[in-house]
Structure 1
């Protein structure tokens, strides 16, 4: 069996997201590091944070990366070893840690600095930014629609599933219009940034500098870029791809194809939510795909993974 670990991006965070991990001793280091960076005890998130608190850019990024790192540590403690790792947007930082390129401490620190630089870029944009997901329209149609409203396609998830980003008012206009144009599903995402668009590309070079200074080692497992699915085996390549993705479109659909091409015969999503597992089920129905949140414990997820062998 080849197991792929897919690390979720922001948008699926919720107050109860750490309740299972709090009971996993192997996840304690990641939860402690994430708590220190976030300025609150993530194990008590359900009692201390409101829904609005979870949508700020910095908090959202820290939450999803910390969850993925905690889940990966708990799974490793149960003997789970992936064949390939990939991450959706900020989840790619967690994927590098899961693959062995970074320590959990480095991953949390890099995530915090990434979020701060993106927030500075958002402030410089001088207008509130937002993102939305659209399903049911072709990529060329969405590209034209986005251009007409001053937005950009930020992520391609599939032939008719995209995420766009731009000024919040323009994004809302598209959300209101898209159903009339034939979109089957439209959702304004709970984020306050236009990731993977030129609106925040002033964060690209500063973040490249952060990555150059960060400790890095050759990954133990394959880790794939969300930009185009290529494997990342050298630090200069990591620096280029991870920094560029802040201001450039992701082709997550291509990345998923490459995950399968790298031998993944089963997929486990870590981080909050089930969005990535559902994408895999939709595009590759022959590949079993589950989310960590489907299970009551890391041991349960590990047993499922072992049965896919």
Structure 2
């Protein structure tokens, strides 16, 4: 069975999507439609912009989404199962037919703006912790004064924590004391997948509730529960929870393999997810589209 996986924020690079735009009439049409929907020429920033311009959340999220979804459409993929890392879940939901291209892009744009606002409300950040068991990371976070939680379960021995700036800093010191190989702050705008995103979650929830979701052609393994979901109502519910809940990527990939996935194809910019899948299961076939 073929699993298709879609990357999240951080996979962007200058020039992303340009080749697609130039070589495919379908891709060009969809990129131009996206420019109209967003009200600015995101293609100019994707193809010619600086790394700094691309790093703006309101640009990054739609850019990564567009690269992934348009690539998937030009490849005409027929997945047996899909999953996306954080933002990538929206790309996955367009690829399996749960969301239309237009609705997916509108939600991603609203998500980016809501997260940007939440980031500006309080100093918050994220940090990567390497070389500790998940349980130890969770215990260290629980013992810290202030808001800090496990946010991304990326692969065994690689977990990202998220929360208030001072609490994350304290947690990094405590992680090193507990034996972490590294615990380092990440260059991000705020504390994604933590309680600090509650204002953004509320804002996005209203937009998700107002959007039509279809019955998908194949299951999506959602970040929040790391399990197969095929009901439009359940997909909505889990998507609303996603902003303040952890990304259970390790658990999602393990479950997909249990359920019969024999190969994982990463669709979108970069090769981060195939790298993580290889660390979760060395035997599984991985492909970068």
TM-score (norm 1): 0.83
Task: Specify the SS of the correspondent of 1:250.
Answer: coil
Asked if 1:157 corresponds to 2:158, the answer is no
Task: Specify the SS of the correspondent of 1:27.
Answer: helix
Shift of 1:109: 0.4
Asked if 1:254 corresponds to 2:251, the answer is yes
Matched with 1:35 is 35
Matched with 2:130 is 135
CA-atom RMSD in angstroms:
2.3
- Partner Cα separation in structure 2 for residue 30 and residue 177 of structure 1: 48
Shift of 1:30: 3.5
Cα distance, 1:271–1:232 mapped onto 2, change above 3 Å: same
Query: Structure 1 residues 87-96 or 204-213, which shifts more?
Result: 204-213
Asked if 1:194 corresponds to 2:195, the answer is no
Within 5 Å, give how 1:265-280 maps onto structure 2. Answer: 265-280=262-277
Q: How many equivalent residue pairs?
A: 285
Shift of 1:139: 1.7
Shift of 1:172: 4.9
- Partner Cα separation in structure 2 for residue 82 and residue 272 of structure 1: 18
- Partner Cα separation in structure 2 for residue 165 and residue 254 of structure 1: 19
Matched with 1:238 is 235
- Partner Cα separation in structure 2 for residue 116 and residue 200 of structure 1: 12
Within 5 Å, give how 1:1-309 maps onto structure 2. Answer: 2-25=1-24, 26-36=26-36, 37=38, 39-42=40-43, 45-47=46-48, 49-76=49-76, 80-123=77-120, 126-147=121-142, 148=144, 150=146, 151-172=148-169, 174=171, 178=175, 181-186=178-183, 188-292=185-289
- Partner Cα separation in structure 2 for residue 138 and residue 231 of structure 1: 25
- Partner Cα separation in structure 1 for residue 287 and residue 145 of structure 2: 37
Task: Specify the SS of the correspondent of 1:60.
Answer: helix
- Partner Cα separation in structure 2 for residue 215 and residue 251 of structure 1: 26
Tell me, which stretches of 5 or more residues in structure 1 are unaligned?
Answer: 293-309
Matched with 1:296 is none
1:269/1:276 contact within 8 Å kept:
yes
Matched with 1:305 is none
Tell me, which stretches of 5 or more residues in structure 2 are unaligned?
Answer: none
- Partner Cα separation in structure 1 for residue 23 and residue 252 of structure 2: 30
- Partner Cα separation in structure 2 for residue 225 and residue 193 of structure 1: 22
2:156/2:280 contact within 8 Å kept:
no
Shift of 1:289: 0.8
Matched with 1:304 is none
- Partner Cα separation in structure 2 for residue 64 and residue 232 of structure 1: 23
Shift of 1:81: 1.4
- Partner Cα separation in structure 2 for residue 134 and residue 238 of structure 1: 30
TM-score (norm 2): 0.88
Query: Structure 1 residues 145-154 or 106-115, which shifts more?
Result: 145-154
1:7/1:92 contact within 8 Å kept:
yes
Q: What do the CA deviations read for 1:39-90 (whole angstroms, capped 9, x no partner)?
A: 234266342x2222222222221111111111101110xxx31111111001
Matched with 1:303 is none
Task: Specify the SS of the correspondent of 2:225.
Answer: coil
- Partner Cα separation in structure 2 for residue 169 and residue 119 of structure 1: 20
